[in-house]
Amino acid sequence: MSAANSTRVNDCTIKIATVNGTGSASANTLLMKSIFRSGIPVMGKNYFPSNIQGLPTWYEIRITRDGHVARSGQVDIMVAMNAETYARDVKEIAPGGYLVYD
């Protein structure tokens, strides 16, 4: 089986694109903790250009059974909830990845 067709279990990156000041930090942390409490090693990183309410913000969750704590360099699941960054966010999805949008 080629690397492109290999099955990955408990190994993906979720990136959530939102607007700063919407309560997304709490929701993102809750999602990450839920995955961790199910027994899967996870790492979360918040990316925001500023703490100014209304500006774009991203939260990346790396799920990996091997316990890696660095970014993987790909986005397997994009949750796009910011209309201003939608076009940019969609381009980051890895081939075979998923898009969840509002």
Q: Is residue 4 scored above 70 in pLDDT?
A: no
Do the domain assignments include residue 3?
Answer: no
Whether 31 is covered by a domain: the verdict is yes
What pLDDT is recorded for position 77? 96
In eight-state DSSP terms, residue 5 is: G
* pLDDT tens digit sequence for 73-101: 899 999 999 999 999 999 999 999 999 99
Give the pairing of strands 42-47 and 75-80. Answer: unpaired
**50 vs 47: CA distance, rounded Å:** 9
The string of pLDDT tens digits covering residues 18-57 is: 998 888 888 999 999 999 999 989 999 988 777 778 889 9
Domain boundaries, position 41 = 8-101
60 beta partners: 15, 45
| pLDDT value of residue 44 | 92
More confident residue, 5 or 99: 99
- Is 91 part of any domain? yes
Q: Is residue 2 part of a domain?
A: no
Mean per-residue pLDDT for 2-16? 75
1 inside domain:
no
Quickly state the pLDDT bin for 5 (edges 50, 70, 90). Answer: low
Q: Which two tokens stand for residue 75?
A: 């986005």
From 71, 99, 96, select the one nearest 6 (Cα to Cα).
96
Residue 60 counted as domain residue? yes
In total, how many domains does the chain have? Answer: 1
28, 46 contact by CB (below 8 A): yes
Which residue type sits at 55?
L
Q: Any idea what the CATH number is for the domain that residue 83 is in?
A: 3.40.920.10
Residue 64 lies in a domain: yes
